[in-house]
Amino acid sequence: MDRQQTEKDDEASGQGRPTLKTLAFMTGLGVTTVSRALKDAPEIGAETRRRVQLVAKQIGYRPNRAGVRLRTGKTNVISLVLNTEREIMSFVSDIIYGVSEVIADTPYHLIVTPYSRSQDPLDPIRYLVETGSADGVIISRTQPNDPRARYMLERGIPFATHGRTDMGLIHPYHDFDNYAFAAEAVRHLAGIGRRRLALLAPPVELTYHSHTLNGFTDALSDVGASEIPFNTVSIDHSIEQIRMRTAQLMRREARPDGFVSSAAAATLAIVAGIEDAGLKLGRDVDVVSKQSSDLLHLFRRELLVVNENFRLAGAELARSVLGWIGGAAPGSLQSLSMPTEVLAYRRD
The interface partner of residue 239, options being DNA, a copy of itself, none and the CB cut-off 5 to 8 Å by kind, is a copy of itself
Binding segment for a copy of itself (CB under 8 A), chosen from 105-113, 142-150, 161-169, 181-189, is 105-113
**Dist. CA 184–CA 193, nearest whole Å:** 14
The interface partner of residue 257, options being DNA, a copy of itself, none and the CB cut-off 5 to 8 Å by kind, is none
Binding segment for DNA (CB under 7 A), chosen from 60-68, 174-182, 242-250, 288-296, is 60-68
Determine, following the binding rule CB under 8 A, whether residue 132 of this chain makes contact with a copy of itself. yes
List the one residue from 101, 205, 218, 284 that touches a copy of itself (CB under 8 A). 101
Which strand (E) or helix (H) includes residue 253? none
Residues 66-95 that bind DNA (CB under 7 A): 66-68, 70-72
List the one residue from 25, 26, 44, 83 that touches DNA (CB under 7 A). 44
CA dist 121 to 95, 233, 266, 289, Å?
A: 19, 22, 24, 28
Closer residue to DNA (CB): 130 or 253: 130
**Closest C-alpha to 86, from 237, 231, 205:** 237
The interface partner of residue 97, options being a copy of itself, DNA, none and the CB cut-off 5 to 8 Å by kind, is a copy of itself
The interface partner of residue 9, options being a copy of itself, DNA, none and the CB cut-off 5 to 8 Å by kind, is none
Closer residue to DNA (CB): 39 or 117: 39
Determine, following the binding rule CB under 7 A, whether residue 33 of this chain makes contact with DNA. yes
Smallest gap from Cβ 131 to a copy of itself, in A, equals 5
Determine, following the binding rule CB under 7 A, whether residue 28 of this chain makes contact with DNA. yes
24-29: Cβ within 8 A, 24+ apart: 26/55, 26/59, 27/51, 27/52, 27/55, 28/1
- Interaction mask 46-85, a copy of itself, x per CB under 8 A: --------------x-x-xxxx-xx----x------x-x-
Determine, following the binding rule CB under 8 A, whether residue 295 of this chain makes contact with a copy of itself. yes
Number of residues interacting with DNA: please give it, by CB under 7 A. 30
| Residue 120 CB partners (closer than 8 Å, separation 6+) | none
Residues 3-42 that bind a copy of itself (CB under 8 A): 17
CA 79 to centroid of chain Cα atoms: 11
The interface partner of residue 144, options being a copy of itself, DNA, none and the CB cut-off 5 to 8 Å by kind, is none
**Dist. CA 157–CA 340, nearest whole Å:** 34
End-to-end CA distance of the chain: 85
Neighbouring CB atoms inside 10 A of 13's CB total 13
The interface partner of residue 347, options being a copy of itself, DNA, none and the CB cut-off 5 to 8 Å by kind, is none
**Dist. CA 345–CA 323, nearest whole Å:** 39
CA dist 310 to 51, 141, 339, Å?
A: 44, 13, 12
Closer residue to DNA (CB): 22 or 161: 22
Collapsing DSSP to helix, strand or coil, 65 comes out as helix
**Strands annotated E in the chain:** 77-83, 109-115, 136-139, 159-162, 173-176, 196-200, 226-227, 258-261, 286-291, 304-307, 334-337, 343-344
Closer residue to DNA (CB): 30 or 191: 30
Determine, following the binding rule CB under 7 A, whether residue 134 of this chain makes contact with DNA. no
CA 321 to centroid of chain Cα atoms: 11
**Dist. CA 242–CA 200, nearest whole Å:** 9
Determine, following the binding rule CB under 8 A, whether residue 112 of this chain makes contact with a copy of itself. yes
Determine, following the binding rule CB under 8 A, whether residue 214 of this chain makes contact with a copy of itself. no
| Residues contributing to the site for a copy of itself (CB under 8 A) | 17, 60, 62, 64-67, 69-70, 75, 82, 84, 87, 89-94, 96-97, 100-101, 104, 109-114, 130-133, 239, 243, 265, 268-269, 271-272, 293-295, 298-299
